[in-house]
Amino acid sequence: MAGLIMILISAMFFPGMILRTKSIASGRKGPGIFQPLRDAGVLVRKGSVFSTTTGLITQIAPVISLASVICAALVVPFGHQEALIHFEGDFIFFAYILALGRFFMIIAALDTGSAFEGMGASREAFFSMLIEPAFFILMATFSMFTGLVSFSDIFSHFFITGNHYVLIFSIIGFYLFIQTALIENSRLPVDDPKTHLELTMIHEVMILDYSGLDKALIHITTWLKFAVYGSLMYNVIVPAGWNIFLQIGLFIAVQALFAIIVGFLESFRARNKMNKNPKFILTISAIALIAFAVILILNLNLNP
């Protein structure tokens, strides 16, 4: 329960920290850290308008997407505290419950009958398909590293394996989770959330037909997804056996660091050309595969 509460709290501040980082990096005063929450509050008070060409899918997709992220958060542990839902192979459930929410957002974009939204949906599906192997290869690496197949078990035993290379693999995992989160949320360098050119937009063009409460739910879903991946980053670099108050402080610090990294990336890095994105994403999978091969070789040497 503590992990879920921490995720919900950090999700409230995450987008504001990104905005503040971008403002400071560009030398502007910029909006306050609570501005995204105010914007979401304005959207919640507005009514939703749906095109007559859309059907039921468009209306239920934001709710299903939000529910899928909340369900995914339930399997993420916090320190020595097991996740509310944990079982062998729960990271597979984690990946595909997120995929379920993404699937409904994709078909909702197609449901509008807009060529632009269909183009964004196609790119969303393609990039998600390309990044999926990186996540599963990374989790297979952690599973082979610890001999366990559950988020709660893997992260609680990650730093007590006695392996001298644990720090290297925690850094690799941290890096890969950052890249996965950026791609899953359609952020730079794959997509620019502030762009207004439909030909190069991905996520933003998919939600052009949404307004009011439904658009607020979509934004909240993105914030929660960032916080969930930030929680995975925390688990992979902070030992589970440390003092609970220290863990809470470090959790906040890791989430803040993640938001600052995203803010600096979006301040100083240009978006990739569209035809470069598949190569960039496959490179991330290649890095995960290298880590997997190293673990495999180490295991063969230790257990001939």
**168 in a domain, yes or no?**
yes
Query: What is the predicted pLDDT for the residue at 303?
Result: 57
* Cα–Cα distance list, 168 to 137, 150, 279 (Å): 16, 21, 24
Query: What is the predicted pLDDT for the residue at 178?
Result: 94
Domain range enclosing 24: 2-299
Q: How far apart are the first and last CA of the chain?
A: 41
Query: What is the predicted pLDDT for the residue at 128?
Result: 92
Give me the number of domains the chain comprises: 1
Query: What is the predicted pLDDT for the residue at 169?
Result: 85
d(CA 45, CA 247): 37
* Cα–Cα distance list, 83 to 67, 80, 180, 280, 293 (Å): 17, 9, 21, 33, 29
Residues 73, 161, 247, 259, CA torsion sign: negative
Q: Which residues of the chain have pLDDT under 70?
A: 161-163, 198, 300-304
Query: What is the predicted pLDDT for the residue at 57?
Result: 93
Please, what is the Cα angle at 205 between 72 and 257, to 5 degrees? 50
Query: What is the predicted pLDDT for the residue at 161?
Result: 61
**304 in a domain, yes or no?**
no
**248 in a domain, yes or no?**
yes
**65 in a domain, yes or no?**
yes
Report the Cα 189 to chain-centroid distance in Å: 14
Query: What is the predicted pLDDT for the residue at 203?
Result: 86
**106 in a domain, yes or no?**
yes
Query: What is the predicted pLDDT for the residue at 204?
Result: 86
**54 in a domain, yes or no?**
yes
d(CA 37, CA 15): 9
**265 in a domain, yes or no?**
yes
Per-residue tokens: 189: 């360098």
Query: What is the predicted pLDDT for the residue at 10?
Result: 93
Query: What is the predicted pLDDT for the residue at 291?
Result: 85
**121 in a domain, yes or no?**
yes
